[in-house]
Amino acid sequence: TVRALRSITLRNELAGKVRRVALVPGAIVEAGDMLVALDVEVERAELAAIEARARLARKLVARAQELHRRGAAPTNEVDELQASLDVATAELARTRAIIERKTIRAPFRARVGIADLHPGQYLDAGTVLTTLQGVDDDAHVEFAVAQDVAARLIPGGEVEVLADGAAIASGTIVAVDARVDPTTRNATVRARIDARTAAPGASVRVLVPTAPDRDVVVVPATALRKGPDGDHVFVVEADGDGHPRARLRAVESGTMLVDRVVILAGVAVGEQVAASGSFKLRDGVRVAATRADTVVASIAH
């Protein structure tokens, strides 16, 4: 899956009533752009009251300090007035922070997702506002590989990214997850590609070269059948009368390569397998082979 380098679900940190909405789905916003503004009339009134208290406290402190220098005011009186000023200053900072946080801004250059907000709407804290997909020169592709393959991959290695069976970009491995899924025994790998080649969320296939090119046996993915007794294919063989028949053959499958599967054991180069409609077959049934599927190719594996 292709992922933006930066992608977030945008939420409001504080509750409040929506005053202004500047979210346009699909539009690109710059870092710092206002996206949603909540009503702050109450907070602004509180801020004005606190500023008035702070101004008064500042004057009282200055007067007490002057009297203290003359010996006309005790130290504890100066300390109490200074504490009142400190409290007012802290309340000012807190109220200004609340006002600032009630204006939700874009944290980075991004494309806006779907949004359904309207002025006057009340939002609880943590309400989902929209999604933001970073607009960068590069994007990430995350894919899973078998743990033995992951062990041979290192950051900086090259991979090939394909969509609809055609190569669209080359990527560079930037990270290999140290964790292995206990169920699938796969590890996640992250590669970086040019963001212009595939949109975030797109499904792609990734070719990972793990050894020099060599000839290996492959079959169409539709030919491989999986069951409780393991993997198998139907090999097309002629009977004694020369009629083609489907023969069930147990195989050991390997890596998936776009629309084909590597077969490690069970079939030989040049044999034919039933690729179309193999799920309908049973061992020994007579078939009409309309097209030969050669099971050999030279690939990086």
What whole-number distance in Å separates Cα of residue 125 and Cα of residue 44?
20
Q: Higher-confidence residue: 162 or 30?
A: 30
- The fold of the 213-300 domain, in CATH, is 2.40.420
Say if residue 295's pLDDT is above 50.
no
Say if residue 37's pLDDT is above 90.
yes
Average pLDDT over residues 130-139: 88
Q: What is the pLDDT of residue 258?
A: 62
Say if residue 294's pLDDT is above 60.
no
Which residue, among 158, 225, 234, 238, has the nearest Cα to 191 in the 3D structure?
158
pLDDT confidence of 256, banded at 50, 70, 90?
Answer: low
E-assigned strands of 164-266? 166-176, 186-194, 205-207, 213-220, 225-227, 230-238, 244-250, 252-257, 260-265
Question: Which DSSP state fits 273?
Answer: B
Q: Is domain 41-101 annotated with CATH 1.10.10? A: no
Q: Is domain 7-34+107-134 annotated with CATH 3.40.190.10? A: no
Tokens of 149: 């393959």
pLDDT confidence of 296, banded at 50, 70, 90?
Answer: very low
Q: What is the pLDDT of residue 301?
A: 44
Say if residue 15's pLDDT is above 50.
yes
Average pLDDT over residues 112-117: 93
Q: What is the pLDDT of residue 93?
A: 96
What whole-number distance in Å separates Cα of residue 93 and Cα of residue 85?
12
pLDDT confidence of 126, banded at 50, 70, 90?
Answer: very high
Under 8 Å between Cβ of 102 and 14: yes
Average pLDDT over residues 36-57: 96
Q: What is the pLDDT of residue 211?
A: 61
Say if residue 227's pLDDT is above 70.
yes
> Could you give the percent of the chain with pLDDT greater than 70?
89
Tokens of 246: 């489907």
Average pLDDT over residues 7-29: 95
Average pLDDT over residues 98-114: 95
Query: 202-219 pLDDT, tens per residue?
Result: 888 888 876 655 566 777
Say if residue 49's pLDDT is above 90.
yes
Say if residue 279's pLDDT is above 70.
no
Q: What is the pLDDT of residue 57?
A: 93
Say if residue 163's pLDDT is above 80.
no
Q: Compute the C-alpha angle 74/75/78, nearest 5°.
A: 100
- Where exactly are the structural domains of the chain? 7-34+107-134, 41-101, 138-207, 213-300
Q: What is the pLDDT of residue 297?
A: 39
Average pLDDT, the chain: 84
CATH of domain 138-207: 2.40.30.170
Domains 7-34+107-134 and 213-300 share a fold: no
Q: What is the pLDDT of residue 298?
A: 37
